[in-house]
Structure formats: C-alpha cells, structure tokens
Amino acid sequence: MDRFLDIFQLTHRVIIARSFQFYLKLVKLTSTFYTNNISSLIKEIEQGLSVVYAIWHCESVLHLLLPCRLKTYAFFTGHSAADLYARLVSDLGYTLLRPSGENGMQRQILMAKDILLTPGKVIGIAVDGPFGPSRVAKHGAAMLANLSGAPIIPFHCKARYTWTKKKTWDNRLYPCLFNEFIFLNGPPINIGPEATTKEIDDATLHLQSELNKLCKRA
C-alpha cells in the first residue's frame, strides 16, 4: 500500500509540474518582456562574469520567465516541501543544487563555490527562503560571495498582472497570460574572502535594502 501511495504521489507531482510548465510557456508566448535594464549585465555574464543572482522568494516563479538563456544553477533547500517546485525548475532547464545525505548543506555550498569559480555561471538564490520571514534577507548569498569572490546581483521582476496564494508565507506571485514583464538589477555587492562576520552581516542588510529599492523602482 505504501508503495502504491508513493507512486501515486510521484505521478501527481509530475502531472502538476508538467501542466504548470505548459502554462508558463503560454505566458511567455503571449507576453512582452522588457530587459533593456539588464542587457549590460547579461552581456558581462555571457563574456565570463559569474554572479550570485539574488531575488525575493515571492518572485521566484516570475524569474523563471527571464527570456535570456543563461547557465543558471538554482540553490534549493533539501526540504520535501520544495520537491514540486524543484521538479518544475529542473524541467525548465535549470540545474538544481540541493543538499542530500550527511553534511549535505556543506557539500552544497562547496559545490556552489566551485561553480562560481567557473566563468559565466549564475547561481540563483531566494535570499528570504525557504520559510521566511518574507523580505528579510538571510546570509546564504553573502556566504557564497565571500567564498567564491563572485559579486551578488540584486534582481527584481515586475509583472503587470499577477495572482497570489494568500496562504503561503511569502504570498508568492504567479503570472497571468497576456502580460508585461520588467526585469531590473541593482549594483553589484562585493564581499572579499577576508570579510569579517560583521561585514557579511552588513552586506546582507545592504542586499535587503537594494532588493526593496528595486521593488519600489519598478
């Protein structure tokens, strides 16, 4: 019986992920995207700049619609609550970084560091995830920047028409069809390898401030 339930749950997750993937493709086909504000950064990445791409968790679905094709790795928690979204992100062509097994989180961070030391790579991280509080940045992005030397880039996506599930801690935004999307990025935040704990704390607060400024600009 347990085996049957496992198969049923897996099939259910696959169907939901594939259906939502199809919906996002329809959104992409029927919408207009404004990326002029991030064009210079995209060019730098294509020329070899590796970055930590920092967003708010509520915008995570919107960022999947970024029309530029970058080699992006998505930083995920190992919690089972993220399984469905992780499958969706993977199906859309992103490489997942998820902890597993003993010392999984440590291995995840070291793997991310090695990726960022390779030219032209992007690691996306929702800095207030996985469980909030909403719009309160945690130290993950700053730690990755500290270990790798890659700059943190605050990113924001504004959709003209969205709906939300009010019961989620982040009020995650979902895009409607026939939409308009604006992508913005803030100035890079650099954290040296010799940064102190206080400097990492300060950089995290600065990132939080920059993300909120981008939300007000759009």
Q: What gap in Å lies between CA 201 and CA 205, rounded to an integer?
A: 6
Q: Which residues contact 21 (CB under 8 A, 6 or more apart)?
A: 88, 91, 92
Domain made up of 2-217: CATH architecture:
3-Layer(aba) Sandwich (3.40)
Q: Which residues contact 173 (CB under 8 A, 6 or more apart)?
A: 58, 59, 61, 62, 159, 162, 163, 164
Residue ranges covered by each domain of the chain: 2-217
| Four-CA torsion 44, 49, 55, 59, nearest 10 degrees | 50
- Residue 132's region, left for phi above 0, alpha for psi from -120 to 50, else beta, is left
Over its length of 218 residues, how does the chain's per-residue pLDDT go in tens digits?
445 444 445 566 678 878 999 999 999 999 999 999 999 999 999 999 999 999 999 999 999 999 887 889 998 877 776 787 888 888 888 999 887 766 777 888 889 999 999 999 999 999 998 889 999 999 999 999 999 999 999 999 999 999 997 778 899 999 999 999 999 999 999 998 899 999 999 999 999 999 999 999 87
Q: What gap in Å lies between CA 184 and CA 143, rounded to an integer?
A: 23
Q: What gap in Å lies between CA 215 and CA 78, rounded to an integer?
A: 28
Run of H or E residues at 91: helix 83-91
